[in-house]
A = this chain, B = another copy of it.
């Protein structure tokens, strides 16, 4: 039996990269830093990723995927719309707060030359469930009858901002604060 490529190692690498982007920005993150942070040799990075570009694209895709996956955890399609929407909204909020580094990373990537059109495309496709969700809300006349893409961008964008604000102001979100914040968002979208 031989040593095989190790999924755990990929996780280590990803964690290291996220930590570094949060600390030093995308431009300040080097392959050397990543390997040191991940506790492996620089060369080993290239066993798992053929280049820095590929590493970043893979991480981008992984973040996107896990974020989407978490969003719908525990969501019951047959629940009435608003509580269902709220459930997802809370999932996202929780995820983004607990994985703040990912948000930073995604934001930094957005306009970087690292992310390829292909990666971008695939990320976009993962938004499908959100589209369906919003469409349902519109059909039930609970959500404003505006371009769905716009509503989603808005919803996600505001969450990002809320999370940033929360993170940097050092405020811990108690239940009432969360409720207030949700209302902010809901009032915007509701028909």
Contacts and interface: CB of A to CB of B under 8 A. Distances in A.
A27 interface: yes
What interface size band does chain A fall in?
35 or more
A25 B114 contact: yes
A155 to B, nearest CB: 9
Contact of A161 (B22, B156, B165, B187): B156
Interface stretch (A9-17, A77-85, A89-97, A103-111): A103-111
Q: Summarize A's interface: helix, strand, loop or mixed.
A: helix
Given A161-B158, A188-B184, A27 B24 contact: no
A21 interface: yes
Contact of A112 (B28, B171, B187): B28
Contacts of A110: 107
Nearest to A110: B107
Interface stretch (A58-66, A68-76, A126-134, A143-151): A143-151
A125 interface: no
A22 B111 CA distance: 7
B188 A113 contact: no
Nearest to A105: B111
A49 interface: no
Interface in A132-186: 144, 146-147, 149-150, 153-154, 156-158, 160-162, 164-165, 169, 171, 180-181, 183-185
A38 interface: no
28 contacts: A21-B111, A24-B113, A25-B27, A26-B26, A26-B111, A27-B112, A104-B111, A108-B112, A144-B180, A144-B183, A146-B184, A147-B171, A150-B169, A150-B181, A153-B161, A153-B162, A153-B164, A154-B158, A154-B161, A157-B158, A157-B162, A157-B164, A158-B158, A158-B161, A160-B161, A185-B188, A187-B187, A187-B188
